Amino acid sequence: MNSIIEDRGSRKADINIRFSDFDLPPMQDVLLIGRRAAIGPEAVRRMVDALAPGQYEVIEMENGHIEAIAVKVELFNWVKRERLVDMILEEVNMFTCEKSLIKAKLSITISITREVDI
Amino acid sequence: MFEVQDIMSSPVHTISTEKSVFQAASYMKKLGFGGLPVIDNEKLVGIITSSDIYFSHPNRLVADSMTKKVIYCSPADIIWDVVTQMTKYNIKRLPVVNKGHLVGLLTKSIVTKYMGNQYDPLTSIHNSIYIYQLANRLITEGHEISVILFDINNFGHINKEYGHVYGDKCIKNIAEIISKHINNDCDFLCRYGGDEFVIVSLRKVNDASKLVQSVVAAVKKESIEMGKPLSISAGVCGGQRKHARKSANKVIENLINKASLASTKAKRIGKEYLLCVDS
């Protein structure tokens, strides 16, 4: 009597799990929303209102391919609102399009040099 | 049937702002619609159309993709005015709003059907639905109007003697003759009923009677050319009407009725037309 033994081998899966803190909300200091991005300003507004109420301002743009910009309001304590928005838009216009959804992290350092009498 | 609420579709299929563009597209496909009014807290906040969907990411909220500046009308608006605006701005769907709440929708197909109902298929001129609306509009705007009613003499006899096809031909000929004699800037013609034609005119009654004379003469000429008897009688009615703006419909009905009676009387006493002037 002949028997055929088939060796199919063994199959294993390696699972790696990485735990980390969730960014709340899942965006950084600034979020730039293109006119044809996967989410729009109203969706972002509802998200930040739900997850980080009062911490972000969604500013809608009338022209250009960026429809809106969500900015952490705390930044306006450091730099004037218009100045900051203008500067960000000026920089991103070079590499964004209507479908862009770009997050940005700002690092503001204020250098002070004072001369005092000794 | 002068107001939007008489022809609008109701209730209306809507979508809410928190739905995605993909969901809106699926819903529109299921309904076979090209657009949906967008509702937030029971108020109309926008409209999303197939062209909005075409240019938006499917993941977007309807709130972020809808057209926010919505042109709308109220249920009591005059259809005539609304249709003019829809045509002028190429609006395919017009929400009907009452106190901020969406109560109906006026679509291009409803409007097209409505406009089609205002034409007489035999003569291709307007019918009485049109003339009532137009007269209502003119009176409401404060114009003084005259009404002329033409009636083919012995039309029943013509039908019996020469057949209904010939009778229809007579009606078409009369419609053509009157159309050629009116001034489209101030005279508005319709086939009112079987063998009756009505002109609502901005002319004074005396001037309107001159128009009648020229039409009657042209019909006589046509009769000679056809070699068969064809003539018309007419009644002309007009004059000052106090408080007309408050009851435009009654004024129109009254004018048409008096013009009709004048035409019948003219026929009876063997005259071509009779004037009836209200003071």
- Asked if A99's CB is within 8 angstroms of B61's CB, the reply is no
Statement to judge: residues B146 and B262 lie in one domain: yes
Q: Sort B213 into a burial class: Cβ within 10 Å, 0-12 / 13-18 / 19+.
A: middle
Statement to judge: residues B264 and B151 lie in one domain: yes
Statement to judge: residues B132 and B254 lie in one domain: yes
Domain end residue (candidates: B78, B97, B115): B115
What is the per-residue pLDDT across B185-206, written as a single tens digit (0 to 9) for each? 999 999 998 999 999 999 988 8
Domain end residue (candidates: B115, B147, B182): B115
Give the per-residue pLDDT at B1: 53
- What global pTM score does this model have? 0.67
Domain end residue (candidates: B88, B115, B142): B115
Give the per-residue pLDDT at B200: 94
Give the per-residue pLDDT at A79: 92
Statement to judge: residues B30 and B147 lie in one domain: no
Statement to judge: residues B88 and B146 lie in one domain: no
Instruction: Give yes or no for A42 touching B (CB within 8 A).
Output: yes
Q: Mind giving me the DSSP string for B177-215?
A: HHHHHS-TTTEEEEE-SSSEEEEEESS-HHHHHHHHHHH
Statement to judge: residues B64 and B124 lie in one domain: no
ipTM for the whole predicted complex goes beyond 0.90:
no
Statement to judge: residues B111 and B126 lie in one domain: no
Extract the residue ranges of chain B whose pLDDT is less than 70. 1, 239-246, 277-279
Burial B130-159 (b: 16+ CB within 10 A, else e): bbbbbbbbbbbeeeebbbbbbbbbebeebb
Statement to judge: residues B64 and B17 lie in one domain: yes
Extract the residue ranges of chain A whose pLDDT is less than 70. 1-8
* C-alpha to C-alpha distance for B153 and B195, rounded to whole angstroms: 9
Question: What is the residue range of B143's domain?
Answer: 119-278
Instruction: Give yes or no for B68 touching A (CB within 8 A).
Output: no
Statement to judge: residues B41 and B178 lie in one domain: no
What is the per-residue pLDDT across B225-241, written as a single tens digit (0 to 9) for each? 888 888 899 999 986 56
Contacts of B59 in chain A (CB under 8 A): 38-39
Statement to judge: residues B236 and B176 lie in one domain: yes
Q: What is the CATH number of the domain that holds B19?
A: 3.10.580.10
Q: What is the CATH number of the domain that holds B259?
A: 3.30.70.270
- Asked if B60's CB is within 8 angstroms of A39's CB, the reply is yes
* C-alpha to C-alpha distance for B196 and B128, rounded to whole angstroms: 10
Statement to judge: residues B135 and B88 lie in one domain: no
Give the per-residue pLDDT at B148: 94
Q: How many domains does chain B have?
A: 2
Instruction: Give yes or no for A40 touching B (CB within 8 A).
Output: yes
CB within 8 A of B85, min separation 6: which ones? B71, B73, B91
